[in-house]
Amino acid sequence: MEYAQGFKKQMNKRIHLLLCFLLQVNLVLSFPAIHCQDFSGVSLGTGDLHLFHLVTMAHIIQILLTSSTEENGMDQENTSSEEEVAVLTLYKFLCQCTGSALKEISSGWHLWKNLKAGIMPFLRCSALFFHYLNGVPAPSEMEVSGTNQFEHLCSYLSLPNNLTCLFQENSDIMNTLIESWCSNNEVKRYLEGKRHAISYARESNKLIDLPDDYSCLINQASNFSCPKSGGDKSRAPTLCLVCGTMLCSQSYCCQTELEGEDVGACTAHTYTCGSGVGIFLRVRECQVLFLAGKTKGCFYPPPYLDDYGETDQGLRRGNPLHLCKERFKKIQKLWQQHSITEEIGHAQEANQTLVGIDWQHL
Ligand SMILES: *[C@@H]1O[C@H](CO)[C@@H](O)[C@H](O)[C@H]1NC(C)=O
Ligand SMILES: *[C@@H]1O[C@H](CO)[C@@H](O)[C@H](O)[C@H]1NC(C)=O
Ligand SMILES: *[C@@H]1O[C@H](CO)[C@@H](O)[C@H](O)[C@H]1NC(C)=O
Ligand SMILES: *[C@@H]1O[C@H](CO)[C@@H](O)[C@H](O)[C@H]1NC(C)=O
């Protein structure tokens, strides 16, 4: 349940970034129908540049309105740069426009840091979009992920590094626009705490943290008793790697009915935690289980290796096992890229035995 809420929240965040980005794509693609424009070999044509600046400013306001800046002052430098002063001024203007419904933040340093982090996903999407639209190659520095990514992106997109400059160019028009954005009903409802909003910067979803030593998981599993049969030990304790719940798999006691069919605890769990897709660790077998829907599944090598760098599926050799971060990252990536179903498809093509297994009973 908790995960489902987390998932919804994440989706909301993506949708908001996406909406801003889609708005921009629509504007840019439909604009030439109204105006003729020339392309002069920069990554953005003149019309595109104005539209891009406008959407970027809207996104900046969005980020500042939802800033949940923790002011702890720990790593704050005392000297304020021009950018920090400018973003603080902008924030104060927002406070004024929203009738002081915004949290008081007095650190330009924190605001600027938050703004830079929050706008990066939008800048990355925009750079890709304009790259494919106008075919201007990205400078090679941009391909290495380093600390200067923000500056490189700004330069590729013809944005000033101190983003708040955008607002100063046409300050009369912009102030009117900001005022109208701030008096939007949904914005007001958010400020009054009547609806949720996305806050930037966003964090990506992660699978649960696994212990380094596999024996921790074995202990945890041997301590786990079936929640339905009054303290009996579960024969196939299975850990959901998405939310961390231990389940009693492969057993009649925990079967439930789902859409008129009897399914095991794992399949039932995937429908409340992951929209039918699941990633589990079968603890006694030391084996990862992928499930998709009621009929598809496969086994996958576990992220635990012995000192010789080998997995021990079925725990037959019994050597001490330790977490292999690389392997776990690979599983995490499959999940983040929505590739679990595809992975199951490949596995079933390669091994017909997998097609015959009643996955829904796990
Ligand atoms: C930090 O700035 C304040 C004024 O804003 C000043 O009074 C204080 O001495 C400065 N601290 C340091 C360590 O420079
Ligand atoms: C913003 O940066 C530009 C150069 O990137 C500089 O010329 C300008 O003075 C700066 N303005 C502010 C208000 O910081
Ligand atoms: C096992 O369960 C008991 C009580 O239910 C708890 O005190 C103990 O910490 C648990 N041990 C492990 C390894 O989780
Ligand atoms: C096919 O999958 C089954 C079930 O996991 C396994 O026992 C068997 O070894 C696999 N066969 C091959 C050729 O990988």
Residue 74 or 162, more confident: 162
151 C-beta closer than 6 A to ligand 2: no
Model-level pTM greater than 0.85? no
295 C-beta closer than 6 A to ligand 3: no
- Contact yes or no for 173/59 (Cβ under 8 A): no
Distance 224 CA to ligand 3 centre (A): 9
At 75, the pLDDT band (50, 70, 90 cuts) reads low
Least confident residue range of 44-53, 121-130, 158-167, 232-241: 44-53
At 226, the pLDDT band (50, 70, 90 cuts) reads confident
Q: Domain check: are 20 and 160 in the same one?
A: yes
At 108, the pLDDT band (50, 70, 90 cuts) reads confident
169 C-beta closer than 6 A to ligand 2: no
Beta strands in 158-268 (DSSP E): 237-240, 246-248, 256-258, 261-263
- Domain assignment of residue 208, yes or no: no
- Domain assignment of residue 202, yes or no: no
Distance 353 CA to ligand 4 centre (A): 6
At 8, the pLDDT band (50, 70, 90 cuts) reads very low
Q: Domain check: are 175 and 238 in the same one?
A: no
219 C-beta closer than 6 A to ligand 3: yes
Asked if the model's pLDDT at residue 71 lies above 60, the reply is no
Distance 313 CA to ligand 3 centre (A): 26
145 C-beta closer than 6 A to ligand 4: no
In the DSSP assignment, the letter for residue 354 is: G
Least confident residue range of 2-16, 20-34, 89-103, 180-194: 2-16
Measured by CA distance, the residue closest to atom 7 of ligand 3 is 223
- Domain assignment of residue 203, yes or no: no
The reported pLDDT for the residue numbered 33 is 53
Q: Domain check: are 184 and 295 in the same one?
A: no
Q: Which tokens is 151 given?
A: 């500056």
Asked if the model's pLDDT at residue 284 lies above 80, the reply is yes
Q: Domain check: are 233 and 325 in the same one?
A: yes
Mean pLDDT of 35-50: 58
Q: Domain check: are 182 and 218 in the same one?
A: no
Distance 85 CA to ligand 1 centre (A): 15
Q: How far is CA 201 from CA 34, 111, 121, 163, 281, in A?
A: 35, 11, 9, 16, 31
Q: Which of 270, 261, 273 is nearest to 291 (CA)?
A: 270
Q: Domain check: are 176 and 86 in the same one?
A: yes
Measured by CA distance, the residue closest to atom 11 of ligand 2 is 165
352 C-beta closer than 6 A to ligand 4: no
- Domain assignment of residue 44, yes or no: yes
Q: Which of 191, 226, 254 is the last residue of a domain?
A: 191
Asked if the model's pLDDT at residue 22 lies above 70, the reply is no
Q: Domain check: are 163 and 279 in the same one?
A: no
Q: Domain check: are 18 and 49 in the same one?
A: yes
Q: Domain check: are 218 and 187 in the same one?
A: no
Q: Domain check: are 151 and 257 in the same one?
A: no
Asked if the model's pLDDT at residue 73 lies above 80, the reply is no
- Domain assignment of residue 204, yes or no: no
Structural domain boundaries, residue 43: 2-72+81-191
Beta strands in the chain (DSSP E): 237-240, 246-248, 256-258, 261-263, 277-282, 287-292, 296-300, 304-305, 322-323
Domain count, the chain: 2
Q: Domain check: are 123 and 271 in the same one?
A: no
The helix-helix angle for 108-134 and 149-156 (nearest 10°) equals: 50
Q: Tens digits of per-residue pLDDT, 315-335?
A: 999 899 999 999 999 999 999
Q: Which of 140, 159, 191 is the last residue of a domain?
A: 191
Residues of the chain above pLDDT 90, percent? 34
What is the C-alpha separation between 338 and 290, in angstroms, rounded? Answer: 12
- Domain assignment of residue 264, yes or no: yes
The reported pLDDT for the residue numbered 10 is 47
- Domain assignment of residue 285, yes or no: yes
Q: Domain check: are 219 and 153 in the same one?
A: no
Q: Which of 191, 223, 255 is the last residue of a domain?
A: 191
161 C-beta closer than 6 A to ligand 2: yes
